[in-house]
């Protein structure tokens, strides 16, 4: 009788052990399949799947720019003007960027997309995928050639843990459609760089194919229809600042062209001229809420997630 009980107990223990191993393995696999997104503000993101970490347009300094009405009177920091030398807020960057970084993707070379990349690239050793203009600026800051992958749009690159399609794009129609800038940096640049040296230098979008998710990113409130048609991302990060209203049926067309993505996370909508922690209620009221109404009509089955600065969004 004792022998029988002992055998029975062993069987129960073994079953429990294998069940535990299965559950642990299932949990680990589930976590490995999760995509974690963190919003830096502007068009900036951290994207993590497994042990792969990709940054997109990581602008964290959030300088107080010129005499813009978007500046806050409660912000005691100095004002920066176009002729001023750009200075990254390295203290804030070090607080925000604490993990290893594998790649940095840059949509275009304006300061709210590129200006903090030199410091982050030096800090992390990450490979930067960007235009010729962006790479010229990065080289001026001492980023070695081995870290730079120059692209013009049209490339579709395979890496060990992901692939990325580089998509030709077009900048937002700022200033009531008066914005136009065809300049590019083709010659070597010397430091120090002023704010005005961060020119557009052509615009891109990225289709990032992780192991379990496809993410379409935008750095502007504009796109080329022929380039995004049929991409079918699981997650899309559309720019939703005011300049989207200058584009014909912006939201409706973008959702239809990309096959009505399951998850839509608006980007480049916040007031990036104020520090983290300052109110974004005005931006939410004037930009996000109207965009949500547009989405109800354009893609009612899509799940829209409004990001909060530096908080993680987990997508299963």
Residue-wise pLDDT for 37-51, tens only, equals 999 999 999 999 999
| Residue range 199-216: mean pLDDT, rounded | 98
**Around Cβ 111, how many Cβ atoms within 10 Å?**
24
pLDDT reported for residue 27 = 46
Query: Residue 116 — pLDDT band, cuts 50, 70, 90?
Result: very high
- Per-residue confidence (pLDDT) for residue 1, from 0 to 100: 46
In the predicted structure, residue 24 carries a pLDDT above the cut 50: no
Residue 3: pLDDT band (50, 70, 90) is very low
User: How large is the C-alpha radius of gyration of the chain?
Assistant: 22
Residue by residue, DSSP assigns the chain as -HHHHHHHHHHHHHHHHHHHHHHHHHHHHHHHH-EEEEEEETTEEEEEETTEEEEES------EETT-TTS-TT--SPEE-TTSBP---HHHHHHH--S---EEE-S--SHHHHTTHHHHHHHH--EEEE-HHHHHHHHHTT--GGGEEE--S--EEE-SS-EEEEEE-----HHHHT--------S---SPPBGGG------EEEEEE-SS-EEEEESSS---HHHHTT---SEEE-B-SGGGGGSTTHHHHHHHHTT--SEE--BS-S-TTS-TTS--HHHIIIIIHHHHHHHHHH-TTSEE----BT-EEEE-
**pLDDT for the residue 25:** 43
* Whole-number pLDDT of residue 23: 44
What pLDDT is attached to residue 33?
85
Closest CA to 224 of 179, 257, 263: 257
* Domain spans, the chain: 34-315
Percentage, residues of the chain above pLDDT 70: 90
- Per CATH, the homologous superfamily of domain 34-315 is Ribonuclease Z/Hydroxyacylglutathione hydrolase-like (3.60.15.10)
Give the pLDDT confidence of 248-297 residue by residue, as tens digits.
999 999 999 999 999 999 999 999 999 999 999 999 999 999 999 999 99
Tell me the average pLDDT across 1-13. 55
Q: What integer pLDDT is reported at residue 26 of this predicted model?
A: 41
Phi, psi of 7 (to 5 degrees): -60, -40
Between 19-28, 62-71, 146-155, 162-171, the lowest mean confidence (pLDDT) is in 19-28
Report CA torsion sign: 61, 67, 71, 73: positive
Q: What is the pLDDT of residues 149-207, one digit of tens each?
A: 999 999 999 999 999 999 999 999 999 999 999 999 999 999 999 999 999 999 999 99
User: Average per-residue pLDDT in the chain?
Assistant: 93
pLDDT at 72 over 90: yes
pLDDT at residue 11 in the model: 62
> What is the rounded CA–CA span in Å between residue 262 and residue 264?
7
pLDDT of residue 195: 98
């Amino acid at each position: 009788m004792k022998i029988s009980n002992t055998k029975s107990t062993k069987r129960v223990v073994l079953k429990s052990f294998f069940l535990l191993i299965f559950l642990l393995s299932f949990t680990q696999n589930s976590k490995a399949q999760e995509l974690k997104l963190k919003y830096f503000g502007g068009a900036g993101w951290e994207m993590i799947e497994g042990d792969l970490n990709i940054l997109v347009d990581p602008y964290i300094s959030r300088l107080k720019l010129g005499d813009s009405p978007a500046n806050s009177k409660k912000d005691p920091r100095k004002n920066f003007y176009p002729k001023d030398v750009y200075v990254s807020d390295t203290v804030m960057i070090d607080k925000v960027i604490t993990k290893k970084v594998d790649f940095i993707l840059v949509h275009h070379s304006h300061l709210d997309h590129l200006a903090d990349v030199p410091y982050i690239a030096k800090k992390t050793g990450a490979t930067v995928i960007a235009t010729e203009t962006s790479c010229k600026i990065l080289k001026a800051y001492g980023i070695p050639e081995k870290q730079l992958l120059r692209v013009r749009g049209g490339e579709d690159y395979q890496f060990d843990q992901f692939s990325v399609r580089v998509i030709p794009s077009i900048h937002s129609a700022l200033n009531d459609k008066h914005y136009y800038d065809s300049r590019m940096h083709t010659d070597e640049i010397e430091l120090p760089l002023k704010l005005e040296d961060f020119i557009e230098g052509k615009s891109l979008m990225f289709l990032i194919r992780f192991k379990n998710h496809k993410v379409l990113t935008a750095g502007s409130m504009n796109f080329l229809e022929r380039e995004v048609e049929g991409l079918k991302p699981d997650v899309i990060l559309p720019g939703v600042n005011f300049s989207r209203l200058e584009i014909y049926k912006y939201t409706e067309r973008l959702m239809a062209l990309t096959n009505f993505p399951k998850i839509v996370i608006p980007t480049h909508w916040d007031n990036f001229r104020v520090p983290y922690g300052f109110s974004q209620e005005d931006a939410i009221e004037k930009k996000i809420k109207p965009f949500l109404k547009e989405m109800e009509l354009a893609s009612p089955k899509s799940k829209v997630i409004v990001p909060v600065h530096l908080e993680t969004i987990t997508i299963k």
